[in-house]
Structure 1
């Protein structure tokens, strides 16, 4: 190859790399599954992306208002007994199995006539959301006789303390996530409370989110998910994809998580794998996450499914 040909080839490679990296200003740092905290208590097998309970790592204390992301598996006929929460936004995202949420006032066998805020069986695609506020107590139990439950437990810091406690539940099924993936998109799951930090009691009760069809959260925060078949690509639009959906438009953060969803985790079968922003140093396997920093509202973070199984991708968009 002549010097001129070599230079031309190098230029072509450089241009391709620049095109692949659509967000050259962004910092993307993988958080490998092996660097998560892990505890197996028999009844609970849990992985912590951020410091939690008896596991502490100063490198992984929080990311913007995102404070906790635990990937939990709870054995049948076991779970978390009634316990209090306050001053956190806490939500469970169902992956498989069934997790029974009970308000502290609802006893087993007395569920008739109780609304979903007080008693709810979280299944795949369900999100059960709790505003701890001034104080709330509930239990989360796997009441199934034989099947384990697999879910994500996520906590965010609200924009102020002392909020009125509340619950919300909603389902975001596989069909909606696959349909979004076919269009190269994500399904919005959470968006900020439209009335903002100064919401009146009536506005708190109305609980209107910035984006219709989502669950309202008391933070400049959003959540989305998609279900990508192998060789498919989707883009998450930072700031939830709608003008005015978030307050802080610049220097936002996105945490990407790829849950452990396929049989690869059990018997060596093909697993899900994704690549972020076309970067070879930002390839995630199941259980991995990634810190995406220095991005702005309107930026498009591309996610490619490059593994042998469908990739269920969860994004958490925060200030």
Structure 2
């Protein structure tokens, strides 16, 4: 059993305090950080974490084609389906994950490096709503070559422990074009990101505890002291899921809540205990 992190500061970001927007009756979006029409100077980024939106899109609706530059953008699907199309991938040419590679389902993570410029659309082409997290990170350098990745992560694995989802590109900021094309991540079986950033996800049964190792272990991240870890509990269980962080009585997160964890170092173990009525799906965003 890990000990509480006495040197860590943990500050809750309550769901009710997030920005919120509805667009045309088809999109409901909560914003942890300043985004579009929502601005709060206190919440512009957290380390290289720049955007954390919790979105619901109605059936047969979505985001039309729009451009992005110099951002690492990824979607974590919680429920439903989301169809991603962009200026690099054409329907019918989607690659290794098969014919429906472009259609993301629960368990899928879609990742785009905006770099020098890419245009994409995200549409709910199904007959049911889709619920997902859209997350942006600031890359370690600008004008990167656009990249695109999608990967599925098993539900069973997430019920055993936190599963790494993204980790830094192994070749680092000075990667050659060949190393960029190879797209090898620091942690095998994860999606490579152009940032000193690790993402993990877990599904924690009531009464159980998972431990997040800050920096995801030796040799993964560059910054080893005073990392920034954001923990988010999505709104997936009608308010029945709750977690307690670091065994602190005053640090219970309800659905939609998050927490800023600062002052932690590589190798620290952050306890996340499920204290609600049902299992809790937790996302951890660990950055420089």
Asked if TM exceeds 0.5, the reply is yes
Q: Secondary structure at the match of 2:156?
A: helix
Report the count of equivalent residues. 285
More strand by share: 2
Instruction: In structure 1, list runs of 5 or more residues that go unmatched.
Output: 1-18, 181-185, 265-270
Query: Structure 2: how far apart are the matches of 1:84 and 1:68?
Result: 16
2:253 matched residue in structure 1: 284
> 1:40: Cα distance to partner?
1.8
DSSP 3-state at the match of 1:230: coil
Match of 2:237 in 1: 262
TM-score (norm 1): 0.86
Partner of 1:31: 13
Q: Structure 2, unaligned stretches of length 5 or more?
A: none
Higher helix share: 1
Aligned equivalents of 1:220 and 1:20: distance in 2? 25
Alignment partner, residue 211 of structure 1:
187
Q: CA deviation at 1:105?
A: 6.4
State which of 244, 253, 267 in structure 1 corresponds to 2:228.
Answer: 253
Kindly provide the CA deviation profile for residues 110-149 of structure 1, in whole angstroms up to 9, marking residues without a partner as x.
Answer: x3344369961111110000000000011100001x2000
Distance 2:132 2:187 in 1: 24
Match of 1:316 in 2: 285
Asked whether 1:305 is paired with 2:268, we answer: no
| Cα distance, 1:150–1:293 mapped onto 2, change above 3 Å | same
Q: Match of 2:108?
A: 126
Runs of 4+ in 1 over 2 A off after TM superposition: 104-107, 111-119
Q: Are residue 45 (structure 1) and residue 28 (structure 2) matched? A: yes
Task: Please identify the structure whose Cα radius of gyration is greater.
Answer: 1
SS at match of 2:16: helix
Question: Secondary structure, in 3 states, of the residue corresponding to 1:176?
Answer: helix
Contact 1:106/1:119, CA 8 A, preserved across alignment:
no
Correspondence for 1:12: none
Root mean square deviation of aligned Cα: 1.6
User: SS at 2:70's partner residue?
Assistant: coil
Separation in 2, partners of 1:45, 1:217: 27
- State the Cα deviation string for residues 77-125 of structure 1 (Å, max 9, x = none): 0000001111000000000000000123667xxx334436996111111
Superposed, 1:1-319 pairs within 5 Å as: 22-41=4-23, 42-104=25-87, 111-115=91-95, 120-144=102-126, 146-180=127-161, 186-241=162-217, 243-264=218-239, 271-319=240-288
